[in-house]
Amino acid sequence: MTLAAATDPALTVHPMGWLAFLGAVLLFLALDLGVFHRKPHAVSFGEALMWTSLWISMAMAFAFWLAPAMVGEGWQAAHTKLFLTGYVVELSLSMDNVFVIALIFTYFRVPLEYQHRVLFWGILGALVMRGVMIWFGAELIERFHGILYVFGAFLLFTGIKMLFAGDEEVEPEKNFIIRLARKLYPVATEYDGQRFFTQLDGRRALTPLALCLIMVETTDLIFAVDSIPAIFGITTKTFLVFTSNVFAILGLRSLYFVLVGLLRHFRYLKYGMALVLVFIGFKMLVVLWEGRPTWLDFEANHDAVLGIIGAILGLSIIASLAVPAKKPGSTGEH
């Protein structure tokens, strides 16, 4: 039995189901930019919390009602658990992305009223990039099941590396895409409203907002290199991988405005996310051990996987709140 067969119950999604989901996503994005955020404004904590609650509610409605209705009898309870596990993993991994985006906005001094526009187009680009990566990954797995073991080893290495890595830094001058954009276009030093292009000495030029968007896009691409193998460690069903990614990414915009002021207090969350990657990598590799004990048979118990991941993240948040951070300059000596 292959790893893919051991992991997932059968799931067949009619092309119309895919089209209905993609059409709904495009409709929500059009309403977001064209109606709810047509005029630039600073997103308040209350507004962001409302949108975050809405996106989480929509993800739950999809898992328990919409997806079963779309797929029909082929949808099983196991699929709901796999979607929820993938959604939790993708949402938790995006927390680190939130912190880096905050650093990018600070570096480029992006006004609060323009930040949602950058996030909107950045996340739209992320949906396209991740869609391509998911399709490519699914094709690889279909042809070479052994690639999952490579993914597992990669996640194990990445998680261990994250445990000992320092804080992220934003260095646009080292970004290849930023350097290429500067060669192709002149860059204005001042913002021109929420425009990405402006006129400089009679020539079409990039605004600082455009450079910020490029930085956000390339950053998400880097994070996707970790998150896509991680979700394939949960399920190899393309529909579940894609939909859980989409809901996590769509919720990232409002989640950013909720967490940007709080994330610095959750300093142990990064270690929790690293342990999640280590666990998923270990989970993928342990399938190689045919004589593994029952308690290591994660593939037969989706509840255990979701519970372990939730416990790791929950404990990291509790530890962050329970152990106060040292004040800058404090040595701990009296």
Are residues 40 and 117 in contact, defined by beta-carbon separation less than 8 angstroms?
yes
Minimum mean pLDDT range among 56-70, 72-86, 120-134, 318-332: 318-332
Are residues 195 and 208 in contact, defined by beta-carbon separation less than 8 angstroms?
no
Report the distance separating Cα 89 and Cα 313, nearest Å. Answer: 10
**299 — pLDDT class (breaks 50, 70, 90):** low
Q: Is the pLDDT of residue 321 over 70?
A: yes
In angstroms, what is the C-alpha Rg of the chain? 21
Q: Is the pLDDT of residue 240 over 50?
A: yes
Mean pLDDT for all residues in the chain? 82
**294 — pLDDT class (breaks 50, 70, 90):** low
Pair of tokens at residue 193: 């409203």
Q: What are phi and psi of 297, to 5 degrees?
A: -85, 70
Report the distance separating Cα 217 and Cα 129, nearest Å. Answer: 9
Residue bearing the bigger pLDDT, 36 or 268:
268
Say how many residues make up the chain: 334
pLDDT at residue 289 in the model: 66
Minimum mean pLDDT range among 76-85, 134-143, 218-227: 218-227
Report the distance separating Cα 140 and Cα 319, nearest Å. Answer: 39
Q: What are phi and psi of 10, to 5 degrees?
A: -60, 145
Q: Is the pLDDT of residue 182 over 60?
A: yes
What contacts 149, CB < 8 A, 6 or more positions away? 3, 284, 285, 288
What contacts 133, CB < 8 A, 6 or more positions away? 224, 228
- Residue (of 14, 19, 97, 21) closest to 59 by Cα position: 21
Cα angle 290, 296, 299; round to 5: 80
Q: Is the pLDDT of residue 300 over 80?
A: no
- In sequence order, the β-bridge partners of residue 198 are 205
**333 — pLDDT class (breaks 50, 70, 90):** very low
Q: Is the pLDDT of residue 163 over 80?
A: yes
Pair of tokens at residue 324: 């106060």
DSSP string, 236-261: --HHHHHHHHHHHHHHHHHHHHHHTT
Residue bearing the bigger pLDDT, 263 or 182:
182
pLDDT at residue 201 in the model: 80
Q: What are phi and psi of 92, to 5 degrees?
A: -70, -40
Are residues 218 and 177 in contact, defined by beta-carbon separation less than 8 angstroms?
yes
Place of tokens 């929950």: 314
Which segments of 74-226 are extended strands (E)?
A: 197-200, 203-206
What contacts 169, CB < 8 A, 6 or more positions away? 103
Q: Is the pLDDT of residue 334 over 60?
A: no
What contacts 230, CB < 8 A, 6 or more positions away? 89, 90, 93, 155, 276, 277, 280
Residue bearing the bigger pLDDT, 117 or 6:
117
Place of tokens 């490029």: 214
Against a cut of 0.85, is the pTM above it?
Answer: no
Instruction: Give 26-61 as a 3 state SS string.
Output: HHHHHHHHHHHCCCCCCCCHHHHHHHHHHHHHHHHH
> Largest alpha-carbon pair distance within the chain?
71
Report the distance separating Cα 81 and Cα 3, nearest Å. Answer: 18
Cα 79 to the center of its chain, rounded Å: 20
Q: Is the pLDDT of residue 233 over 90?
A: no
